[in-house]
Structure 1
Amino acid sequence: MSEQADKPILTTRQGHPVHNNQQQRTVGSRGPATLENYHFLEKISHFDRERIPERVVHARGFVAHGEFEAYGTIGDEPASKYTRAKLFRTRGRKTPVTIRFSTVIGGRDSSEAARDPRGFAVKFRTDDGNWDMVGNNLQVFFIRDAIKFPDVIHSLKPDPVTFRQEPNRIFDFMSNTPESMHMLTWLFSPYGIPKNYRTMRGSGVNTYRLVNADGEGVLVKFHWLSQQGEHNLTEAQAAEIQARDLGHASKDLYEAIERGEFPRWELNVQIMSDDEHPELDFDPLDDTKIWPEEDFPYLPVGMMTLNRNITDHHNENEQIAFGTGVLVDGIDFSDDKMLVGRTFSYSDTQRYRVGPNYLQLPVNAPRPDVVVSTNQTGGAMSYAVDNRGANLHINFEPSSVAGLREADESYREYRPFVSGQIMKAPIERQNNYSQAGRRYREMADWERDDLILNLVTNLARCDKHIQEKMVWHFSQCDEDYGRRVAEGLGISVNA
């Protein structure tokens, strides 16, 4: 009895005590049930609505919390040389973070051992509000223009008729998209199946700008380097894991944190002057390209440590929302064509999935000491009113009576000069093959063998004309690359 007495009383959402949670109200012991079963109706109708729409991409993921500690420097220079973002400027400054790792193509209950890019999204809860760094484990992407995003995802998703992921559909699209060769070379190598979330790297993929107090800007790419090392799986190793566990990576991360083995990643940046860089054989804003490390070295910025697990999967994982447009002062957009499209798409997705007031949820809101002051109001599931000042009658700006005011403009805005005709056109320096070829040549022998095996296994299920187009593309990347794929498929490299 004492154990029962210590338990809280079960109630309805209205706070009414529930005296019988075992039977509904019926006419006699056999029924029928009566309509006025308020507790049952509340309970079952909420159960019917427990799931919100799953993400179209990144549906399966896992969340953990931690902190980011700044070095106060970017490489050997004070961080203030490049950016006025407060979270970077002081050595030892700690910023709370929440991170969501994910697969990309599979549904909410799919395997974490699938060959698939991995999402690597970090929410920094800074003094100036939230900053979301939304990236992947691989440094590049399949396409360079956001208008193709629905197409590439449709090709990778299950067939709309058979509902099976079909190599013929995937490589049909890729064979007509030469810029995808670099990503495919990474994806079908062992890097396409990270061993777990703790031992994979992260990358912002897109190019951003850092802006300092003088209004000077540089281009920047962000990278997370795992302090646990980088470890990947072969197809055979992944199949063995998948046969017994669909969520091995989530389990690994959760259990490591529970044991007190807190995983860490060092944040590094690459910096480039903000111009077109005609000396390069690629456009630095092209996210199918890597900035060569020998020319643009990695510069350490700080260390992230994950030290706390979530307490509720739905509230902290399903409802957490990231967006590439969530930036703080000192970090700015570049003209990256993919970044602009992602910035609309991500926030639009969250408003659809979670609702127009998704930013009021604790997992998405800024930290408590950051006061949110807006004139936004209403909408589904609104449960709070943002700060409007002392006079609640004024929910507009400007007002000579009360309300909110704009922040001062004491900082110097970065104003890059842009000119040109408005057009629909590809970038000039595409160079779709050289970096894919370089990646192929830099692989260890066993990685190349695994890459060829994985490509041949999948391309063998494709139409011959698609096989021939893919062999041609791989041959443009590297002669040996194309030859080995052709031999594996039993076709001529010159077909």
Structure 2
Amino acid sequence: MNKDNLTTSWGAPVGDNQNSMTAGSRGPTLIQDLHLLEKLAHFNRERVPERVVHAKGAGAHGYFEVTNDVTKYTKAKFLSEVGKRTPLFTRFSTVAGENGSADTVRDPRGFAVKFYTEEGNYDLVGNNTPVFFIRDAIKFPDFIHTQKRDPKTNLKNPTAVWDFWSLSPESLHQVTILMSDRGIPATYRHMNGYGSHTFKWVNAQGEAVWVKYHFKTEQGIKNLSTDVAAKFAGENPDYHTEELFNAIEKEDFPAWKVYVQVMPFEDANTYRYDPFDVTKVWSHKDYPLIEVGRMVLDRNPENYFAEVEQATFSPGAFVPGIEASPDKMLQGRLFAYADAHRYRVGVNHNHLPINRPLSAVHTNHRDGQMRFDSNGGGSINYEPNSFNGPSETPENKQTAFELSGFADSVSYDENDHYSQAGNLYRLLNEDERTRLVQNIVDAMKPVLKEEIKLKQIQHFYKADNEYGTRIAEGLGLAVHQEV
């Protein structure tokens, strides 16, 4: 087999890749050694800034196949007929850890899917949990600061974590999930995925409904105990990444059945929980799961950096028939995610092969770093224009919905932070409750201020008397009075 010649990035052959050019055997090194300068300069730039959250992850290619007719709910073309297949790319990740952190930590898992549809890319950027810790994006930077490293010690800070949660009671539902058995999935293949937010589906007649997405693993739910997870973290911190890659290599292709809950548009005004509050779920009795399709992952990336690290997902990447809801957390993410990619990967990140739509792209965007296509050539870059340039399509306008109230900084009207967390606790069997309580007790013991522990115990107690009492007993504290 003939070898390829080593070249510079501009295609010139390299004569010596073992020795730099120097003035004699002792040097100094000559600045005219352009191959050396290029190697070092490129090496210094081989790492794009890691994601602020979801830094550690794994991904795979696959497809989505429609298995049920949902055209009465949405006009999205990739959902238009049973049997239709759409290629996709999925990235799984931990949330708080850095790029080199262990896969098996107790943490939510990111569950992001990019559908390469004929109408453009549709990104569904969720987690393996149906709810989240907060419900307003203005709190997100503060929350993530508590999950990251302390600015003084550069260590994880349990006091900051529980201080924030104790002062943000809306977090209780997600905290309960996180500290339960599902806080550490056995693998990426053995966990469910959720869109978490509420979204709007619109059909061809312009009729709208509200939906929530559920990806149910066909492999079954499996989790790791705290002890086993810690063992894996020490012995193989890339366990989940390796397991997913090897399963696909062996053609043991993971799959998820995809469902939605559908809420009639007007029900949003009368439902007992605010349907746009991402800290709440909708009862399956009220809004049963409706099958949509099946996701299968059947191909590993050829290059991790090009496909997994440079993949960019945004909850604002919609296609006709799928729109945003007034969910305050989602509204903030519509901006924040795309803006993070403009910073991290570059303003032209959607031109990279892993992010490039399969459909034609006609925008008036020009220039910017790493614009590596024809940059629009000499075509018109404004609209409206008189030269038959790309123009808007009024039929794809987003549907209108009524707004009311004063422009103000306001919270959600509904502040029941306890009933769903309590219901979840009562659904657990005794062994599951015991592990949940022990996980919380162990996590709270390092908290430095007793006042923080007492505040948090009150939240558990309000969700369920037994729940709060058992945690208080585990910490050697009482719950007899409000803090």
Q: Kindly provide the amino acid, as one letter, of the partner of residue 164 in structure 2.
A: F
Q: 1-side partners of 2:84 and 2:267: how far apart?
A: 34
* Map of 1:424 onto structure 2: 409
Query: Structure 2: 5+ residue runs without aligned partners?
Result: none
Q: List structure 1 runs of 4+ shifted beyond 6 angstroms.
A: none
1:7 aligns to 2:9 (yes or no): no
Matches within 5 A, 1:181-196: 181-196=172-187
Q: 2-side partners of 1:82 and 1:279: how far apart?
A: 20
* Map of 2:463 onto structure 1: 477
1:385 aligns to 2:374 (yes or no): yes
1:447 aligns to 2:432 (yes or no): yes
Q: How far did residue 275 of structure 1 move?
A: 3.1
C-alpha distance 157-410 of structure 1, shift in aligned 2 (>3 A)? closer
* Map of 1:285 onto structure 2: 276
Identity of aligned residues (%): 45
Q: 2:365 aligns with which of 376, 386, 390?
A: 376
CA deviation profile, 1:280-319 (whole Å, cap 9, x unmatched):
3321110000111111111110011101000111111111
Q: Kindly provide the amino acid, as one letter, of the partner of residue 271 in structure 1.
A: V
* Map of 2:23 onto structure 1: 27
Matches within 5 A, 1:149-168: 149-168=140-159
C-alpha distance 148-51 of structure 1, shift in aligned 2 (>3 A)? same
* Map of 1:493 onto structure 2: 479
Assess if the C-alpha contact under 8 Å between 1:213 and 1:411 holds in 2. no
Assess if the C-alpha contact under 8 Å between 2:366 and 2:376 holds in 1. no
Q: How far did residue 387 of structure 1 move?
A: 5.2
* Map of 1:126 onto structure 2: 117
Q: How far did residue 29 of structure 1 move?
A: 2.5
Matches within 5 A, 1:93-492: 93-275=84-266, 277=268, 279-367=270-358, 370-385=359-374, 392-407=378-393, 409-410=394-395, 414-462=399-447, 463-492=449-478
Q: Kindly provide the amino acid, as one letter, of the partner of residue 67 in structure 1.
A: Y
Q: 2:37 aligns with which of 30, 41, 45?
A: 41
* Map of 1:54 onto structure 2: 50
Q: How far did residue 32 of structure 1 move?
A: 2.1
Farther off after superposition, 418-427 or 189-198? 418-427
C-alpha distance 386-124 of structure 1, shift in aligned 2 (>3 A)? farther
Q: 2-side partners of 1:386 and 1:82: how far apart?
A: 38
CA deviation profile, 1:18-46 (whole Å, cap 9, x unmatched):
12111011122232221100111111110
Q: 1-side partners of 2:430 and 2:269: how far apart?
A: 34
Q: How far did residue 106 of structure 1 move?
A: 0.1
Q: 2-side partners of 1:159 and 1:410: how far apart?
A: 50
Q: Kindly provide the amino acid, as one letter, of the partner of residue 9 in structure 1.
A: N
Q: Kindly provide the amino acid, as one letter, of the partner of residue 243 in structure 1.
A: G
Q: 2-side partners of 1:411 and 1:116: how far apart?
A: 39
Q: Kindly provide the amino acid, as one letter, of the partner of residue 374 in structure 1.
A: T
1:18 aligns to 2:14 (yes or no): yes
SS of the residue aligned with 1:461? coil
CA deviation profile, 1:434-473 (whole Å, cap 9, x unmatched):
0000000001222111110011112111121111111111
SS of the residue aligned with 1:440? helix
TM-score, with length taken from structure 2: 0.97
Q: Kindly provide the amino acid, as one letter, of the partner of residue 478 in structure 1.
A: D
Q: Kindly provide the amino acid, as one letter, of the partner of residue 421 in structure 1.
A: F
TM-score, with length taken from structure 1: 0.95
Farther off after superposition, 24-33 or 150-159? 24-33
Count of paired positions: 480
Assess if the C-alpha contact under 8 Å between 1:437 and 1:477 holds in 2. yes
Assess if the C-alpha contact under 8 Å between 1:209 and 1:218 holds in 2. yes
C-alpha distance 428-24 of structure 1, shift in aligned 2 (>3 A)? same
Q: How far did residue 68 of structure 1 move?
A: 0.5
C-alpha distance 483-402 of structure 1, shift in aligned 2 (>3 A)? same
CA deviation profile, 1:293-349 (whole Å, cap 9, x unmatched):
111111110011101000111111111100000000000111111111001000000
Assess if the C-alpha contact under 8 Å between 1:215 and 1:411 holds in 2. no
* Map of 1:90 onto structure 2: 81
Q: 2-side partners of 1:413 and 1:257: how far apart?
A: 39
SS of the residue aligned with 1:275? helix
Q: 2-side partners of 1:202 and 1:402: how far apart?
A: 44
C-alpha distance 472-105 of structure 1, shift in aligned 2 (>3 A)? same
CA deviation profile, 1:372-395 (whole Å, cap 9, x unmatched):
11121111111113557xxx2522
Q: How far did residue 406 of structure 1 move?
A: 2.0
Q: 2-side partners of 1:114 and 1:312: how far apart?
A: 25
Q: How far did residue 277 of structure 1 move?
A: 4.1
Query: Structure 1: 5+ residue runs without aligned partners?
Result: none
TM-align CA RMSD:
1.3
Q: 2-side partners of 1:32 and 1:189: how far apart?
A: 61
Q: 1-side partners of 2:183 and 2:398: how far apart?
A: 40
C-alpha distance 410-285 of structure 1, shift in aligned 2 (>3 A)? closer
C-alpha distance 140-19 of structure 1, shift in aligned 2 (>3 A)? same
Q: 2-side partners of 1:412 and 1:7: how far apart?
A: 54
Assess if the C-alpha contact under 8 Å between 1:281 and 1:431 holds in 2. no
Q: 2-side partners of 1:105 and 1:343: how far apart?
A: 20
SS of the residue aligned with 1:79? coil
SS of the residue aligned with 1:452? helix
Q: Kindly provide the amino acid, as one letter, of the partner of residue 134 in structure 2.
A: I
SS of the residue aligned with 2:392? coil
Q: 2-side partners of 1:362 and 1:87: how far apart?
A: 20
Q: 2-side partners of 1:413 and 1:466: how far apart?
A: 45
Q: 2-side partners of 1:277 and 1:15: how far apart?
A: 60
Q: How far did residue 410 of structure 1 move?
A: 4.0
Farther off after superposition, 396-405 or 181-190? 396-405
Q: Kindly provide the amino acid, as one letter, of the partner of residue 384 in structure 1.
A: D
